[in-house]
Structure 1
Amino acid sequence: MFAEVIIPLALPRNYTWSVPERFREQVRPGVRVEVVLGKNKKYAGVIRTLHDEMPQAFEPKEILNVLDVEPIVYPQQLQLWHWIAQYYMCSEGEVMAAALPSHFKLSSETTIVFNEEYGEDFMQLDHDEFLVAEALLIKKELKVPEVQQVLDSSHVYPVIKRLIEKKVCSVWEALKETYAPKKETFVMLNTAYDNEDALADLLNEDKKLQRAEKQMELLLSYLHLQKTQGEVTKSELLKKSGASDAQLKGLVDKNILWLEKRQIDRLLYLPRDIKIDFSLTPAQEEAYEKVKQSFEQKPVTLLHGVTASGKTQVYIRLIENAIRQGKQVLYLLPEIALTSQIIRRLQKHFGGYIGIYHSKFNQNERIEIWNKVKTGELKVVLGARSSIFLPFTDLGLIVIDEEHDPSFKQQEPAPRYNARDAAIYYASLFKAKVLLGSATPSVESYYNAQQQKYGFVELAERFGGVKMPTIELVDIKKIPKLNKEKVILTPDLKAAIQRSLDAGKQVILFQNRRGYSPYQVCQTCGWIPHCKFCDVSLNFHKNTNKLHCHYCGTVYPIVYTCQACGNHHFLQQNFGTEKIEEHVEEQLPGVKVARMDVDSVRGKTAHDNLIQQFEQQRIQVLVGTQMVVKGLDFENVNLVGVLDADSLLSFADFRVNERAFQLMEQVSGRAGRKDGEGHVMIQVAQMAHPVLHYVQQHNYPAFFNTEIEARRQFFYPPFSRIILLTFRNKSKELVDGAARQLAEYLKPQYGQYMIGPAEPVVNRIRNQYLMELMFKLPKDSALIQQCKQQIQDQIAVLHYDKRFRSVVIIPDVDTQ
């Protein structure tokens, strides 16, 4: 018997191992096995298939061990991994590395073992070797961190290598299981005192206990906690009572209390209960019925509901249906920021049926959620894109909220998958239904609905008949500038903010740039500080008082002297969220302002805390990047300011108009959600830009009709499929050479579909030069598959040439 095993490496194809007789009963697809690749590197791989065909080209090694009794993934997950690897041009090992929580990917732990035959004469060894050999003589084996402690240095590998060469020791690799269940000590009352009379006698008559005053207090605290909470943990009891371990031990020694260690969940779950305490409005009810009818005809339906139309209530009713049928539900959101608000709503309705899964959870918590989904204990999972990899067993419905959002596309590292598209494929494996929801659908999804590939349902009015917000364009060209600096708040917007605050309302200000100032420029010669490793200007962050590169993360000290002309006068051009926050505090003293961007919300609960403060109206003005745009629901906001719409309208990207429309329409949708008195002010210089006209009218269909014509004319998606190849290397010449060589290989067959090779807008990141080669292919699946295969073959040919071996080539399918 042979096993094709996926290991978490970027191997072009999966390797095969043989299955020894003793493991034949235990192995099956989805089970992890311990295997060796190369000389002695051990991996925990997942069995993909079992077969009896002996590999022709090599002698397979034996599997060393079977690590699981039950599979950790099921056939549907293995099929999904295979599809993602095929479609997005990566390896199944890379998909596995992204899909599994870290603790399932056992790490290989190196142990140094003393060679007894060497003896105890270490006179030939140098100082460092001698220290390690002495330690090995005493302990017989050492792990790498212990060798680092002995030498008080992290660079121990050369020393270990010399000791191995001198036969003082050998190396042994072992796989280490890193997940440990969480255990908690519970305190219980001896069953002899379950009877009230016996307990009263203990408290009133027991002389020893009455003399031990602290123990008596501890016992009373225990009884109070037991009555109010049921089960009592040791840590909670000691904290509440202020007692010590010794006092608790005294009660245990007297056989009054017992201690018991138990395995517990890291995450707290509410009782399982379905409580739907709202009725749908007639418009929502109609949409809900139409979605159900659409699901009878088509597996995927697009729900186009304007902002604040109450799409979430429709989702909740559909989720309730699925739970009552015993099915599991995946609710996908693009941002972790959104999960905190929606999780509170869903927990209110579904209690402990709900679980959350995203990157802010630690690895132990992820494994516990993983196992609960696998056993079917969790019925609904709310998560960001990585939750499509969870091992569902009976998936009935996938809801993809804000389906247009580019955050669903993974950028770095591989697999560069789109969670929305992968979820549609994943659902097909279970014959489950998919609901795509958005106020501003992606052009591709809306086109698919028009072509009747997807079902289509519209929810055209806001909840409660509330009016859409009015949108006012403010021409910043007419505002006089001080020191050539961009205007942050125009007088009109500042007056509108003041009116809102006077009326007890809240304000959101949107700027899609974080930091204080996107760049500094020398007033004399125009020199701009750039990152050493990337071809981009540095952003000034006042919070850290440093210059930051937003591409590689390098931080630099403030520049006070121009490196070109030696002058000391710098202008800070443009503005980010930090500067807006400071400016609002200066212009409107006493106003409570907060900022929501990547820099201000770090940690698992930071998003939730900020959102709750804004909901409770402890913050009056919220300044933020696109984090504030997406799906958040604040009842008291009546004014939204878009401070620099020109920056949204001027990217070099074929999706620029679509993204600008989506961002402005979404952020405007945060205003007037309850009373319909929402007002949006967009500060812009390009007053005649057609996208602004559609945003003002909240007219998505008209925007779509214009955009789809442009896409048809220039053969962009949805009329074509894009594959973007990015070439990376430290040498500019090598990158150029490799890109041109690959283009030459592929030109005869695909020349008419190729654009480039050319330098991207930012042509150097992390000291690596970049070149791009784009393919715009017709929607012919056979041609696309053939092209993908040819690209991969030609990359292999190119890497066979020694000159280009070090050039990294990254394929990105359906690039965002």
Structure 2
Amino acid sequence: MLEFHETQDTARKTIFVEVILPLAISKTYTYRVPYDIDKSVDIGKRVVVQFGKSKIYTAIIYNISDKPPGLYEAKYIIDVLDEEPIVNHFQLSLWKWMSDYYLCHLGEVMQAALPAALKLASETKITLNQSAEFERRNLSDKEFLILDALEIHSELRVSDISKLLGQKTVFPLLRALFEKGIVLISEEISEKFKPRRKAFIILNPFYNDSANRKALFEVLERAPKQLELLLAYYKLEKYQQEIAKSDLIEASGSSAAVLKTLLEKEIFFQENKVISRLSSEELEIFMKFELNESQEKALSQVKEAFSERDVVLLYGETSSGKTQIYIRLIEQMLSEDRQTLYLLPEIALTTQVIERLREYFGNQVGIYHSKFNDAERAEVWQKVLKGEYKMVLGARSSIFLPFQNLGLIIVDEEHESSYKQYDPAPRYHARDTAIYLAHLHKAKIVLGSATPSLESFFNAKIKKYGFVTLKGRFGGVQSPLIEVVSIGEESKRKTMQSHFTSVLINEITGALSRKEQVILFQNRRGYTPVLLCTTCGYTPKCINCDVSLTFHKSSAKLHCHYCGYKQELLNACPACGSTKIEQKGFGTEKIEDELQLLFENARIARMDLDSTRSRNSFQLLLNNFEEGRIDILVGTQMVAKGLDFGNVTTIGIVSADSMLKYPDFRAFERSFQMLSQVSGRAGRRSKQGKVIIQAYDTSHRVISQVVRNDYEEMFDTEILERRNFHYPPIYRLIQLDVKHKDFTKLLNIATSLAGILRLQFADRILGPEAPLIGRIRNYYIQTILIKVEKEGVSIQKIKDALRDILATFEADPANKGAYIQIDVDPY
């Protein structure tokens, strides 16, 4: 039976909203809407709700109805935060699909999707904004009381303010104070994102008349400081269209008080404008380039393939000019007034590609990645929502943006593992999610790579995707020469210098003498991966994880790359007291250090996770390298990903074996991709490049395939093994990581779960087995793998059955203390 609100002349239905909470809970929750705000609710808007006894959250309205929940009494929503929805129906459909496909909760998808500045959280601390400018007389009595209390106490909680005012609901009042900029609220009910405003000064148009201006000068002669400020304004006006308050005060050498006097006299007016936090430099829009014959043919084939397929794999060798084809496709979208999403695997790539695309499209290009602060991410979100950005360039999280009219998605370097989110949930793959997003918008999607993932190439082979090949390097540049050098042979002949063969040393020397640049690749960061006591064999390990600590020279400490634990470098072995401790192995830090000894005059820099943590470090490093201020760049896989430097002629792969020997069914595929991509950085303009691959196992088939650039042979050999041993792309994988702090209990729980799963899924279950790292952050891990054939089986039925089994299993008190992490398509 429906409840009604009685008014003088009408009877209204009670409205209920089903909301998504940003929590790992399996259901949406239903709340009741107060009558006075029932016209404000809409699907996709944010509402403030109470969940549990005292926690307050931002939730997203998922559905609106007149039906109350059957199992519990609905609480009232506290407030509606938005005038217009900030999440659209495309996004809600995508969130639901991700929740179903990746076996996670809707709230976890919401948590990943929304920028932090658009979310409210659980703690409630209110402080006074010391820099706020406001008139006390404009405050209400209750606002004045809150302000008074905050001047006495530096910080108040919501419960304190409720007692102070003698009322339960104070959230709308706090929101009003926050929007006026008077208070700062930590998380709860805090709208962290506010448009950035800047004060600009405008001369009263009355003084544009020469007679009035002359009179003004005469009056201000008696106030020299005010006259000085006026003259500074006229001087700035010659060079700037808009004059900021801060610029005027700085240029005149005056104080804010002098400017305030001129404002009070109405000689100047002040205008507060919303300005972008993002770079707004006007870049020259340069669109004059011609596609060569191969590119024209490939572009034509892509368009033709789109008439039959929504997904097209563009397979073109490194430096073949895929970006120019993307630009032509984006131009077509702009002419149709549709949006484009251009996905890149790394922020390292976006910094270089961004400048290139802005040359063509100016400031129609929006950028979105994790190095932006919360306010900047929220600003991009709002601009995409309003349709101000016709194109967005970003890393994997940009699939969550509120596109209204998406026409094209480009997934560049589609094979990259960086597109996969590992922690926390949702553990999604941006490439696969982008394909579903394109389906929702009825958009087209291009997957581009010189070394496609086996999944994409297999889908192209079976005609599920369109397939276009782009042959030859752009500008007719020859592919680099690749030479494989045996570390073992050179060690025997004693021609190795540190970790470098004589061949690599000679090539680097030659390149430096010709004023050319060098990139060296070593897929391990840090200085020394392992410290070893040569007396008793002791190796320092992390106290939280089953992994040895890596020595970092920059911090002079031992680091865990899994949990972040650090400890001081050992002077003596804690096990036997010996001082004979040796460093085994080498990372990028050590390579950088030893290169400096070998090439004293060379300018050497390092690109890895440690050297690029700060916000602008990528850009600075890339700019310095591009402008020739760095001679040798040492890096991890970051240097392999699509970077384009015209003066790089020599590439050195310091140790190819470490990738090939990794215990993972994708090791050979990834090694081929990595070695090919690194090799592709050499000789990308007029000069032919040279690649030196150092290895112990020089006859390994993957190295041979890289030298011959034979992707198809690699694919054929790998696909045969995948078919024989039931791995993707022939089979689907679902990985369950069972975790517990007690190792014995974990073994019992994981074995029990595997037994239950075998009853349902038979021989599709592998495990439980300890993974490569058996303990991380004090949790022991056992892995269960589910292999599901693609033909003749409904993967959705498998997932539904798995959900039911796990729900029952987790509810069992015998399994208390354990938790299960689900990863669909884990590798």
Normalised TM-score (structure 2): 0.89
2:113, 2:526 → 1: CA distance? 33
1:350, 1:181 → 2: CA distance? 25
1:731, 1:285 → 2: CA distance? 62
Normalised TM-score (structure 1): 0.90
Residue 78 of structure 2 aligns with an amino acid whose one-letter code is: L
* Residue of structure 2 equivalent to 1:317: 328
Q: How does 1:56-205 map to 2 (within 5 A)?
A: 56-110=70-124, 146=155, 175-195=189-209, 198-199=212-213, 201=214
Which deviates more from structure 2 when the two are superposed, residues 663-672 or residues 168-177?
A: 168-177
2:68, 2:496 → 1: CA distance? 72
Aligned: 1:37 with 2:48 = no
* Residue of structure 2 equivalent to 1:540: 551
Taking a change above 3 Å as real, the CA distance of residues 473 and 797 of structure 1, as seen in their structure-2 partners, is: same
* Residue of structure 1 equivalent to 2:750: 739
* Residue of structure 2 equivalent to 1:27: 41
Taking a change above 3 Å as real, the CA distance of residues 42 and 469 of structure 1, as seen in their structure-2 partners, is: same
Residue 786 of structure 2 aligns with an amino acid whose one-letter code is: F
CA contact (8 A) 1:108 1:176 kept: no
CA contact (8 A) 1:546 1:556 kept: yes
Structure 2 SS opposite 1:736: helix
Taking a change above 3 Å as real, the CA distance of residues 9 and 782 of structure 1, as seen in their structure-2 partners, is: farther
Deviation of 1:62 (Å) = 3.0
Deviation of 1:108 (Å) = 3.8
CA contact (8 A) 2:738 2:750 kept: yes
* Residue of structure 2 equivalent to 1:714: 725
Residue 121 of structure 2 aligns with an amino acid whose one-letter code is: S
Deviations 1:150-180 (A, max 9, x none): xxxxxx99xx9xxx9xxx9999886332222
Aligned: 1:9 with 2:20 = no
* Residue of structure 2 equivalent to 1:51: 65
* Residue of structure 2 equivalent to 1:643: 654
* Residue of structure 2 equivalent to 1:398: 409
Deviation of 1:712 (Å) = 1.2
Residue 303 of structure 1 aligns with an amino acid whose one-letter code is: L
CA contact (8 A) 1:397 1:432 kept: yes
Q: How does 1:228-243 map to 2 (within 5 A)?
A: 228-243=239-254
Deviation of 1:688 (Å) = 1.5
Deviation of 1:240 (Å) = 4.0
* Residue of structure 1 equivalent to 2:448: 437
Unaligned runs of 5+ in 1: 113-135, 149-155
CA contact (8 A) 2:217 2:227 kept: no
Q: How does 1:254-293 map to 2 (within 5 A)?
A: 255-269=266-280, 275-293=286-304
2:294, 2:494 → 1: CA distance? 53
Aligned: 1:593 with 2:604 = yes
* Residue of structure 2 equivalent to 1:552: 563
Taking a change above 3 Å as real, the CA distance of residues 372 and 169 of structure 1, as seen in their structure-2 partners, is: closer
Residue 10 of structure 1 aligns with an amino acid whose one-letter code is: A
CA contact (8 A) 1:110 1:171 kept: no
CA contact (8 A) 2:125 2:156 kept: no
CA contact (8 A) 1:734 1:803 kept: no
Q: Could you tell me which of 697, 700, 707 is aligned with 2:711?
A: 700
Residue 11 of structure 1 aligns with an amino acid whose one-letter code is: I
Deviation of 1:109 (Å) = 4.5
Deviations 1:386-422 (A, max 9, x none): 1000000000000000100001010110000001100
1:612, 1:215 → 2: CA distance? 44
* Residue of structure 2 equivalent to 1:412: 423
Taking a change above 3 Å as real, the CA distance of residues 509 and 197 of structure 1, as seen in their structure-2 partners, is: farther
* Residue of structure 2 equivalent to 1:341: 352
Aligned: 1:809 with 2:820 = yes
2:638, 2:283 → 1: CA distance? 31
CA contact (8 A) 1:561 1:568 kept: yes
Aligned: 1:574 with 2:618 = no
Taking a change above 3 Å as real, the CA distance of residues 63 and 146 of structure 1, as seen in their structure-2 partners, is: closer
Deviations 1:330-379 (A, max 9, x none): 00001001111111111111112111011111111111111110111110
CA contact (8 A) 1:547 1:558 kept: yes
Taking a change above 3 Å as real, the CA distance of residues 484 and 744 of structure 1, as seen in their structure-2 partners, is: farther
Structure 2 SS opposite 1:568: coil
Aligned residues: 777
Which deviates more from structure 2 when the two are superposed, residues 102-111 or residues 659-668?
A: 102-111
CA contact (8 A) 1:36 1:42 kept: yes
Deviation of 1:53 (Å) = 4.0
* Residue of structure 2 equivalent to 1:351: 362
Structure 2 SS opposite 1:641: strand
1:179, 1:556 → 2: CA distance? 38
1:252, 1:172 → 2: CA distance? 37
Taking a change above 3 Å as real, the CA distance of residues 313 and 338 of structure 1, as seen in their structure-2 partners, is: same
Residue 676 of structure 2 aligns with an amino acid whose one-letter code is: E
Structure 2 SS opposite 1:60: coil
2:152, 2:390 → 1: CA distance? 43
2:816, 2:149 → 1: CA distance? 42
CA contact (8 A) 1:110 1:172 kept: no
Residue 146 of structure 1 aligns with an amino acid whose one-letter code is: E
Residue 398 of structure 2 aligns with an amino acid whose one-letter code is: S
Taking a change above 3 Å as real, the CA distance of residues 485 and 170 of structure 1, as seen in their structure-2 partners, is: farther
Provide runs of 4+ in structure 1 moved above 6 Å. Answer: 136-145, 168-174, 481-486
Sequence identity percentage: 47
Deviation of 1:772 (Å) = 0.2
Taking a change above 3 Å as real, the CA distance of residues 210 and 569 of structure 1, as seen in their structure-2 partners, is: farther
Q: How does 1:600-611 map to 2 (within 5 A)?
A: 600-611=611-622
Deviation of 1:689 (Å) = 0.9
Structure 1 SS opposite 2:482: strand
1:636, 1:619 → 2: CA distance? 11
1:523, 1:485 → 2: CA distance? 23
Q: How does 1:363-402 map to 2 (within 5 A)?
A: 363-402=374-413
Residue 771 of structure 1 aligns with an amino acid whose one-letter code is: Q
1:169, 1:319 → 2: CA distance? 55
CA contact (8 A) 2:316 2:471 kept: yes
Residue 464 of structure 1 aligns with an amino acid whose one-letter code is: G
Structure 2 SS opposite 1:527: coil
Which deviates more from structure 2 when the two are superposed, residues 459-468 or residues 730-739?
A: 730-739
Structure 1 SS opposite 2:288: coil
CA contact (8 A) 2:495 2:502 kept: no
* Residue of structure 2 equivalent to 1:130: none
Residue 524 of structure 1 aligns with an amino acid whose one-letter code is: T
Taking a change above 3 Å as real, the CA distance of residues 390 and 689 of structure 1, as seen in their structure-2 partners, is: same
CA contact (8 A) 1:486 1:573 kept: no
Taking a change above 3 Å as real, the CA distance of residues 274 and 294 of structure 1, as seen in their structure-2 partners, is: farther
Taking a change above 3 Å as real, the CA distance of residues 222 and 698 of structure 1, as seen in their structure-2 partners, is: farther
Deviations 1:175-214 (A, max 9, x none): 3322222111101122123245654x36xx8345446555
Aligned: 1:504 with 2:507 = no
Residue 77 of structure 2 aligns with an amino acid whose one-letter code is: I
1:141, 1:231 → 2: CA distance? 37
* Residue of structure 1 equivalent to 2:373: 362
Taking a change above 3 Å as real, the CA distance of residues 468 and 746 of structure 1, as seen in their structure-2 partners, is: same
